[in-house]
Amino acid sequence: MNRDPHRHDLGEFLKARRAELDPAAVGLPGGGRRRVAGLRREEVAVLAAISTDYYARLEQGRIQPSPSVLESLARVLHLDDDQRAYLYELAAREEFRPPRRKPRPKAQPQLRRMIDDMAHTPAFVIGPRTEIVAWNAMGAALITDFAKIPEKQRYHIRLLITDPAMRQLYADWEGVTRQAIALMRMHNTNNPGDPQLVAMVEELSARDEQFREWWGAHHVAVCDTGTKHLRHPVVGDLHLDWNAVTWAADPDLQIIVWTAESGTPTHDSLRMLASWAADPSRTTSGSSI
């Protein structure tokens, strides 16, 4: 019998969150020898005013929690807004639906034209599994020559894990990678058993211990703006602001745009990068798949 992946993920999420919670944070005595990290099942159950058996069945993915139980668990586990939304999203699926094999998203011509017109601004378009589906010349110059990467391997998270150049490019490679994993989890709650996503997670888990640990931590986050420090091999250090904008015609797609404040060293470096990217002696990649 098929197992509902939503209930499975819900149970794994609850286990991960209680393992991270300091007993002292919920008023329990700390210190001493504890056989498990964080809170015990029975401690969560008592604090949430439910039976230990009921909570155990939740972690085992065997039952559907009520809204009042979800609210109690969110309070006991000290979930933030993103984690609370993820908890409710997983629990909202009352009937098991077999995973759907969603085709790789495609960028519409008008979207490709829009990012191509950003001559001095790096941009690329990403799908829910972190597929890189389109990019402009500056995006390729900033990150990597996406056109040289086979389509089946052209995933941002896969590049972060498998390409040593990415570890050199991002000054905070660990933070960038963990954020990408948390965002990918959040964006795939509608189809957690997606065969393509499952296959990629299995491959990366087998190849990289850090990915396996971070994916198993069940961290989730929604982040659509921030600043990243890149160490570019051509123009040097860049401190770039980035924004993720959802494409209204296809909400599965996000446009990632990198900018710098005018007059800053990074802004000047972007102009240098644009000149380098436009050099006809270089082999350019084109804007899209």
Q: How many CA atoms lie within 13 A of 84 on its CB side?
A: 13
The band of 284, judged by pLDDT with boundaries at 50, 70 and 90, is very low
Domain shared by 113 and 87, yes or no: no
Least confident range of 83-97, 125-139, 202-216: 83-97
The model's pLDDT over 128-154, given as tens digits with 9 standing for 90+, comes to 999 999 999 999 999 999 999 999 999
Q: Verify that 135 and 51 share a domain, yes or no.
A: no
CATH code of 66's domain: 1.10.260.40
- Per-residue pLDDT tens digits for 65-79: 988 899 999 999 999
Helices 209-216 and 173-187 pack at an angle, to 10 degrees, of 50
Query: Any idea of the CA torsion for 39, 43, 47, 50, to the nearest 10 degrees?
Result: 120
Q: Clarify whether residues 146 and 276 are in a common domain.
A: yes
Same structural domain, 49 and 135: no
Q: Are 21 and 37 in contact (CB under 8 A)?
A: no
Q: What is the count of structural domains for the chain?
A: 2
Q: Which of 22-31, 91-100, 194-203, 252-261 has maximum average pLDDT?
A: 252-261
Domain stop point among 34, 60, 92: 92
> pLDDT value at position 192?
65
The answer to which of 57-61, 68-72, 133-137, 281-285 has the lowest mean pLDDT is: 281-285
pLDDT at 33 over 80: no
Tell me, rounded to whole angstroms, the distance of Cα 210 from its chain centroid.
15
Please state the rounded mean pLDDT for residues 193-199.
Answer: 85
Do 65 and 179 belong to one domain? no
Residue length of the chain: 289
Task: Tell me: do 53 and 87 sit in the same domain.
Answer: yes
Is the distance from CB of 218 to CB of 12 less than 8 angstroms?
A: yes
Task: Looking at the structure, tell me whether residues 121 and 192 fall in a common domain.
Answer: yes
What are the tokens at 237?
Answer: 């250090």
Are 86 and 194 in a shared domain?
Answer: no
Q: In angstroms, rounded to a whole number, what is the distance separating the alpha carbons of residues 29 and 173?
A: 37
Residue 104 lies in a domain: no
Q: Answer yes or no: is 288 within a domain.
A: no
Domain identity same for 168 and 266: yes
Last residue of a domain, one of 25, 58, 92: 92
Segment 95-122, tens digit of pLDDT? 445 455 667 788 889 999 999 999 999 9
Q: How high is the mean pLDDT of the chain?
A: 89
Q: Based on the fold, state whether residues 84 and 208 are members of the same structural domain.
A: no
32 pLDDT exceeds 80? no
* Percent of all residues in the chain with a pLDDT value above 90, rounded to a whole number: 66
**What DSSP line would sit under 1-34, residue for residue?**
----HHHHHHHHHHHHHHHHS-GGGGT----S--
Angle ∠(98,104,110) on CA atoms, nearest 5: 135
Longest dimension (CA), the chain: 70
Q: Which of 52-66, 98-112, 212-226 has the lowest mean pLDDT?
A: 98-112
Report the range of poorest mean pLDDT among 30-39, 141-150, 269-278.
30-39
By C-alpha distance, which of 229, 153, 213 is closest to 181? Answer: 213
Residue 101 lies in a domain: no
**Residue where a domain terminates, one of 39, 66, 92:** 92
What's the domain range around 128?
Answer: 109-280
